[in-house]
C-alpha cells in the first residue's frame, strides 16, 4: 500500500515559493520565522520522511561524479541500504543527476527514485554512498509505482511532499496528494512568473487538479502572523 502523502509548503501571500525573494518580517518578528514555523507544523504529522524534486534536493547533494571502486552484479532492482532507524529523504531524480557523497540529507536516509535508463556506474556510486534506490519505470515518471515500493519495501506510511512546484504539480496530476498543509508567510514576492506551489508542466488545455476538491480541515494562526491552512484532497462530487 502506498503512503499517505501530505503536500507541506510555505508560500508568500501571492502564492510564490522562492523564500529568498520575499519581503522581510515586520519589525520585532524573528528573521527565522519561516523555517521555524515550517518545521513546527511538519512535526505535527509524525511522518516517516519527506519527498522533493531533483532541483530541491540539489541543496543537500554534496558529492561529485566519480568512478565507483567496484561494479557489483545485480544492481538493477530496488536497493534498501541500512536506514539505521532514520526517516527517509526521497529524491525524485529520473536521470540520476544527483551525487550525494553521503547517505543522508539533513540526517534523514536518502532514497533515490530513478528511471531505469541510469547507468550501472551510477547505481554502484549510490551503493558506495550508502544511498537506497528504486525505479519508477523506464523514464522515472511512474510516481504510483515509486510510492507503492516506498510503502511495501521501505514500510513508509506517511510522507511529506515538500516541493518544489514542478514535482508537486506532477504528484497533483497523478492524484497522489491526500492532504495539503500550507503556511502563508506575511510577505510578498510580487514578480509575474515566479513559481507557485503547484507548477505542472503541460498543455494550455490541461487541468492537473481536475477531479479533485479540497475539504477544509483546520486553520491556525502561528508565531509572527504565519497562517496555517490544512485541507483534505477528495474526489470531486461533480466533474470539472
Ligand atoms: N516554499 C517552499 O515551501 C519550497 C519548498 C521546496 C522548494 N522550494 C524552492 O523551489 C525551487 C525548486 O522548484 P522546482 O519546481 O524548480 O523543482 P523541483 O520540483 O524541486 O524539481 C523538479 C525536477 O524534478 C524532476 N522530476 C522528476 N519527475 C518529474 C515529473 N514527473 N515532473 C516534473 N519534474 C520531475 C525533474 O528533474 P530533471 O530536470 O532531472 O528531469 C525536474 O526538473 C527551489 O528554488 C527551492 O528553493 C520552495
Residue of 33, 157, 136, 38 whose CA lies nearest to 92: 136
54-72 average pLDDT score: 93
* Nearest alpha carbon, ligand 1 atom 8: 164
Q: What is the pTM of this model?
A: 0.96
The three cell numbers of residue 111 are 532514497
CB of 52 closer than 6 angstroms to any ligand 1 atom: yes
Strand pairing partners for 232?
Answer: 179, 215
pLDDT class for 205, splitting at 50, 70, 90? very high
* 157 HSE (CA, 13 A, CB side): 3
Q: 202 to each of 57, 67, 79, 115, 215, how far by Cα in Å?
A: 23, 37, 32, 20, 26
* 49 touches ligand 1 (CB under 6 Å): no
- Whether the CB of 55 sits within 6 Å of ligand 1: yes
Report the first-to-last Cα separation within the chain, whole angstroms: 28
H or E, element range at 131: none
Over range 134-141, report the average pLDDT.
97
* Residue 99 near residue 58, CB atoms below 8 Å: no
Amino acid at each position: 500500500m502506498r503512503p499517505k502523502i501530505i503536500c507541506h509548503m510555505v508560500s508568500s501571500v501571492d502564492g510564490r515559493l522562492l523564500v529568498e525573494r520575499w519581503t522581510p518580517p515586520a519589525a520585532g518578528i524573528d528573521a527565522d520565522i519561516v523555517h521555524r514555523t515550517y518545521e513546527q507544523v511538519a512535526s505535527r504529522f509524525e511522518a516517516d520522511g519527506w519527498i522533493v524534486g531533483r532541483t530541491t534536493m540539489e541543496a543537500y547533494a554534496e558529492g561529485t561524479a566519480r568512478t565507483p571502486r567496484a561494479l557489483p552484479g545485480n544492481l538493477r532492482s530496488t536497493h534498501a541500504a541500512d536506514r539505521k532507524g532514520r526517516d527517509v529523504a526521497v529524491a525524485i531524480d529520473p536521470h540520476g543527476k544527483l551525487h550525494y557523497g553521503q547517505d543522508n540529507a539533513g540526517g534523514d536516509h536518502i532514497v533515490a527514485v530513478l528511471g531505469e535508463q541510469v547507468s550501472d556506474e551510477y547505481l554502484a556510486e549510490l551503493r558506495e554512498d550508502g544511498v537506497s534506490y528504486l525505479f519508477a519505470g523506464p523514464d522515472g515518471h511512474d510516481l504510483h509505482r515509486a510510492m507503492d515500493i516506498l510503502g511495501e519495501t521501505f514500510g513508509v506510511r506517511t510522507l511529506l511532499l515538500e516541493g518544489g512546484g514542478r514535482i508537486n504539480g506532477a504528484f497533483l496530476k497523478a492524484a497522489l496528494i491526500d492532504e495539503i498543509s500550507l503556511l502563508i508567510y506575511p510577505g510578498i514576492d510580487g514578480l509575474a512568473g515566479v513559481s507557485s506551489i503547484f507548477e505542472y508542466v503541460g498543455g494550455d488545455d490541461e487541468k492537473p487538479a481536475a477531479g479533485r476538491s479540497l475539504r477544509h480541515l483546520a486553520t491556525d494562526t502561528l508565531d509572527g502572523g504565519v497562517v496555517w491552512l490544512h485541507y483534505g484532497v477528495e474526489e470531486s462530487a461533480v466533474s470539472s
